[in-house]
Amino acid sequence: MEKFFSEIFLQAIEIFTLVIGIVGVLLSVMLLLVPQRLKNTATILNRSVDIDSKFTQFIDRDIPTGNLIYRHNILSGVCLIVTSAFVLVFLFYRLDVNGFLKVFFADGKFNTTDEILFSTMALIAKIAGVIGMLIGSILLFSPDQMRQIEKRVDTWFATKPLWDKLDRPFENVDALVFRRPTVFGIIGLVTSALLTFLAVKNILA
């Protein structure tokens, strides 16, 4: 069963790579042969859709859950302790790192870096489980102290300036590509052809 799901996952990646490679070849050929038509097409498709205002208003709403949690502190503490204990038992006694990695590597060949990465993720999850146990215990036996801790760590981080920087258009990239269509067309064609070749080879293998 594990091999079956891993093969489906790998085939999906190969098909996705093949599609990206074919699209890259077509765009590179257009950039080499008819760059002006590709530029006109890019101008038509280059639309700015403003979803920031509605999306930000939707996800940036303040949802007060503290009153509900502190009103039912016993139930919330018990649920948090039980959930954290279940996670810790699974991570300490049931998790097999090598067996889990074999799900993604059907041939069983994975390097030390993959094992270290997954072990680090498991360690972070263990720390989160221990913290969950502590928070659940404080919430169960001393909710007032938990409320004081929450007030101390309740800090507002403004991420909008970061999103504004990421949301800026970079028109210089298009200008640079269309200024040297032959160079970028050859680079894109070679790269896309290589991706397409590797994808086809892996699918047919």
Distance CA 67, CA 139 (A): 13
Domain encompassing residue 131: 2-42+67-204
> Does residue 150 sit within a domain?
yes
Half-sphere exposure of 147 (CA within 13 A, CB side): 12
> Does residue 57 sit within a domain?
no
What is the model's pLDDT at position 73? Answer: 82
Distance CA 84, CA 72 (A): 18
Tokens for 139, please give them: 């919430």
The DSSP result for 147-205, as a single string, is HHHHHHH------HHHHHHHTS--HHHHHHHHHSHHHHHHHHHHHHHHHHHHHHHHHH-
> Does residue 11 sit within a domain?
yes
Residue owning tokens 């504004």 = 164
Is 143 in contact with 136 (CB distance < 8 Å)? no
> For 130-172, what is each residue's pLDDT tens digit?
999 998 898 888 888 888 887 777 776 666 677 677 666 655 6
How many domains are there within the chain?
Answer: 1
> For 97-132, what is each residue's pLDDT tens digit?
666 666 556 555 556 676 777 778 888 999 999 999
> Does residue 56 sit within a domain?
no
Rg over alpha carbons for the chain, rounded to the nearest Å, is 26
What is the model's pLDDT at position 119? Answer: 79
> Does residue 120 sit within a domain?
yes
**Rounded-to-10 torsion of CA 195, 199, 201, 205:** 160
> Does residue 62 sit within a domain?
no
Which H helix or E strand runs over 79?
helix 73-89
Q: Is the model more confident about 64 or about 93?
A: 93
190 Cβ contact partners less than 8 Å away, ≥ 6 residues apart: none
